[in-house]
Amino acid sequence: MRKNKKEPSVDPRVKCKLSYWYGFLVIFWVLLALAVAQALIYNRYVGINHMPLKRP
């Protein structure tokens, strides 16, 4: 007679408890902060009045 082993729902070799969404969100917010910082620095040197917003 065989014993009914309860199979684990996750692989025991996987030690990471955080999902890949956590890493994605961290990278997303870091890149977003860098883009905002770049825009603020660029705006300090070249004002919005000097940027060509419309095509002639």
This prediction's pTM:
0.54
CA–CA gap between residue 48 and residue 4 (Å, rounded): 71
Q: What is the pLDDT of residue 21?
A: 84
Q: What is the pLDDT of residue 7?
A: 64
Q: Which two tokens stand for residue 28?
A: 């997303």
Q: What is the pLDDT of residue 28?
A: 97
CA–CA gap between residue 16 and residue 23 (Å, rounded): 12
Q: What is the pLDDT of residue 32?
A: 97
Among residues 42, 20, 38, which one has the least CA distance to residue 30?
38
Residue showing tokens 């997303």: 28
Q: What is the pLDDT of residue 6?
A: 66
Please write the tens of the pLDDT for every residue from 8-46.
676 777 776 777 888 899 999 999 999 999 988 888 887
